[in-house]
Structure 1
C-alpha cells in the first residue's frame, strides 16, 4: 500500500517536471503531492495507532487547503495581469 503512495508522489513530481506550460497544471501536480503525503501519513499513523499523528494529519490537510487557495488566487491575479496562465509569459523577476 505504501508503494502506491510513493508512486503517486513520483507521478506528481514527474508532472511538475514535464508539464510546465500552464500554471494550473503545476498547481494540480502540487495538490497531488500534498494528497499523497496526506495518505502516506494517514497510513503511518494508522499502523502506529498514535493519536498525536492523527492530529498532525489534520494540520497537514488544513495547510494543503490554504496552499491551494493561495495558489489559485495567485493564478487569478496573474491571469488578469498577463491575460494568460502560461508560465513562460510570467517574467516577474526580470527587470
Structure 2
C-alpha cells in the first residue's frame, strides 16, 4: 500500500514540475499531493496518540483553505491579466 501511495505522490509531484504554465493545473497537482498525504496519514494512525486522529482532519481543513485561496488568486489574476499563466504572477519581471 505504501508503494502505491509513494507512486501517487511522485506522479503528483512530477505533474507539478511539468505543468508549471497554468495556475489551475498547478493547483490541481497541489491538491493531489495533499490528498495523498491525507490518505497516508489516515491509513497509518498511531493508536496510542490522540493527535494521530486529529491531524488528518486538520490537514484536510488546511487543504480546503489552500484551495480556496488558490482559486481566489486565480480569479483575481484572470480578472486583471486575462489569463491564468504563472508568468503573470512574477512581480520582479519588467
- Compute the TM-score of the two structures, normalised by the length of structure 1: 0.89
1:90, distance to aligned residue in structure 2 (A): 3.3
1:85 maps to 2:84: yes
Q: Distance in 2 between matches of 1:93 and 1:65?
A: 29
Query: CA shift at 1:35, angstroms?
Result: 0.2
Where in structure 2 are the equivalents of 1:1-95 lying within 5 Å? 1-45=1-45, 48-50=46-48, 51-95=50-94
Tell me if structure 2 keeps the 8 A contact 1:82–1:90. no
- Give the paired residue count: 93
Structure 2: gaps spanning 5 or more residues: none
For 1:23-77, what per-residue CA distance to the aligned partner results, in whole angstroms no more than 9, with x for missing partners? 10000000000000000111111xx334420111100000000000000000100
- Structure 1 gap segments, 5+ residues each: none
Give the whole-Å Cα distance in 2 for the aligned partners of 1:49 and 1:9.
25
Structure 2 length as normaliser, TM-score? 0.90
Instruction: Give the structure with the larger helix fraction.
Output: 1
CA distance in 1, matches of 2:47, 2:43: 10
